Amino acid sequence: MTFSRKIRTLATTVALLVPVTVHGAAAQAEATTPLGKTEVEQIVRDYLLNNPEILLEVQEALESKQREEQKLAQQTVMKDKKEQIFNSPYDGVVGNPDAAVTVVEFFDYNCGYCKRAMDDMQALIEENDDVRFVLKEFPILSAESREAHVVSMAVHAIAPDKYADFHQKLLGADTRANGELAMKIATEAGIDESTLRKEMENPEIQKVFAETYDLANQLAVTGTPAYVIGEEVVFGALGKDVLAEKIDQARTQDN
């Protein structure tokens, strides 16, 4: 919704809240006569011009309500789809697999913010034995991204012990990720190319992508990186310190 449309919507809402006070003897005669649409609109217009700050107040209240509704909806999804979010066998895991705190990250191999956030993930894992990252393959930026993620999913399926190193090298590459680069990194890690290509044809890969897109939609995830930490969905590469705070909150929730 554009700002101008928001203003018009807010103005309509305010119209229901604006008190109409008429003074003087003539007011008593007019009090029983309903005001027409044009008169009400003029009163509302004059009121808003004289008190423009009320538009900001109403907008802030509306946005606060929408955020709370979104949060409640996300928490419902997290409860109903807990296993799919936190324990899917198709997702790669970095860190202690038995860690008490799980950080789920939706990522795209060509996301610049995801590349920068990788250092935050590595640092948090090194500093916290009770934290693991679950990686949701979420190719949304290009066909090249999808190619790379297909290879990544196949790597995880046939060589899960090599996935973490593969992930770090592909996401940390200086060039754009695509199927060719992903295959090169995988074979250099000692993974048999013919076996890998066969697994890439597994229809489960495309099925998992579709399920992840649907899950992201339900969680209101539209970009990368995005995280599920505890009972909260966190959007964007907010840095190590912010993620550490969210992890501390998740520890408290678990207790």
Q: Are 240 and 123 in contact (CB under 8 A)?
A: yes
Q: Tell me what pLDDT residue 12 has.
A: 55
Answer yes or no: do 58 and 110 share one domain: no
68 and 177 inside one domain: no
Does one domain contain both 130 and 51?
no
Place 2 in a pLDDT band, splitting at 50, 70 and 90: low
Q: Are residues 249 and 183 in the same domain?
A: yes
Note the pLDDT tens digit of each residue in 187-229: 999 999 999 999 999 999 999 999 999 999 999 999 999 999 9
Asked if pLDDT for residue 179 goes beyond 60, the answer is yes
Domain shared by 230 and 111, yes or no:
yes
Reported for 179-184, long-range contacts at CB under 8 A and 24+ positions apart, including other chains, are 179/144, 179/147, 179/148, 179/150, 179/151, 180/147, 181/148, 182/109, 182/147, 182/148, 182/151, 182/152, 182/155, 183/151
* Boundary-marking domain end, from 25, 46, 78: 78
- Find the largest Cα–Cα distance for the chain: 94
Judgement on whether residues 101 and 225 belong to the same structural domain of the protein = yes
> Rounded to an integer, what is the distance from CA 6 to the centroid of its chain?
23
Query: What is the pTM (predicted TM-score) of this model?
Result: 0.75
Report residue 96's pLDDT band, with 50, 70 and 90 as the boundaries: very high
Tell me: do 128 and 170 sit in the same domain. Answer: yes
Q: For residue 197, report the phi and psi dihedrals to the nearest 5 degrees.
A: -65, -35
Mean pLDDT over 33-38 rounds to 82
Q: Which range, of 33-37, 75-79, 220-224, averages the lowest pLDDT?
A: 33-37
Residue at a domain's end among 49, 78, 107: 78
Handedness of CA 110, 112, 113, 115 (dihedral sign): positive
For residue 133, the enclosing domain spans: 83-254
pLDDT at 19: 47
CA atoms of 102 and 210, how far apart (whole Å): 23
- 217 Cβ contact list (under 8 Å, min separation 6): none
Number of domains in the chain: 2
Give how far the C-alpha of residue 36 lies from the chain's centroid of Cα atoms, to the nearest Å. Answer: 46
Tell which of 48, 78, 108 closes a domain. Answer: 78
Pair (11, 92) in one structural domain: no
Q: What is the CATH number of the domain that holds 169?
A: 3.40.30.10
